[in-house]
Amino acid sequence: MRLDDDQVRRFEDEGYLFLPDVFTAAEVAVMKGELPRIFAQRRPENVRERTGDVVRTAFAVNTYDPTFAALARHPRMVEPVIQLLGGAVYIHQFKINAKAAFDGDQWQWHQDYGTWKNDDDMPDAKAMNVAVFLDDVTEFNGALMFIPRSHRIGVLEAGHDTSTTSYPLWTIDQATIRRLVGEGGLVAPKGKAGSVLLFHGNLVHASPGNLSPFDRTIVYVSLNRVDNAIRRFKRPEWIAHRDFRPIELLPDHCLMTLSRAA
């Protein structure tokens, strides 16, 4: 899957690109069918919310689940990133954020590259995120909020927040967010399950808690250029992967092939 010139320009200008209907309803159903089994497991990769027994994030699912291992190598997800980053990529991080109905907590304002730089010593912002919607994302169930064009500023000063939620994050102070929103505004891309969001590692973003009765499950794959591999290994490998080999793409029909095999 190749982006056209207008899509590349929009990504470079705004720091994100929303692509509807990238994966079919049947492909989404295959992926969603794996979630109850994944979330039921008691393993360190499944980080739970501060309150209750609800999974907040399931890390490294691609390392043990065949369906999500296939998604991690799917051409519709990986090829646009190779195009935008200008080189072969590897998986820096793979996670499923399960912002469960009523219980899904917020994600504070942050830049992902800020964390990758501070925690993993990633040399440059030659990495980005792909978000695959497994549920419809609406104004009610905790849509991502972006500050357009904030990726142009570079890495912002951040503090290490270890108390607001169950997962520590390098977060940006409110005064800076107020200034950036005044300059760039706010957007919250929404759409059907099967949609894809591409966003720059320096784009400032957050998401509110989910008080609605609707789940908001999104797969996030952070892809990094092979020549930009991390140099610090203090975080567990299931958070910051150590396999720097370029992704070898699977055929476009790989998710449905798995479904038929099962």
Residue position matching structure tokens 């470079």: 12
Record the pTM.
Answer: 0.91
Mean pLDDT of the chain: 91
Kindly give the interhelix angle for 75-85 and 5-14, rounded to the nearest 10 degrees.
70
Burial 23-33 (b: 16+ CB within 10 A, else e): beeebbebbee
Check whether 166 has a pLDDT greater than 50: no
**pLDDT, tens digit, 9 for 90 and up, residues 51-98:** 768 888 999 999 999 999 999 999 999 999 999 999 999 999 999 998
Size of the chain, expressed as the number of residues it contains:
262
Q: What is the pLDDT of residue 108?
A: 81
Kindly report the CATH class assigned to 5-261: mainly beta
What are the φ/ψ torsions at residue 256 (nearest 5 degrees)? -75, -30
Give the residue extent of every domain in the chain. 5-261
Residue position matching structure tokens 């972006």: 146
Q: Which amino acid is at 5?
A: D
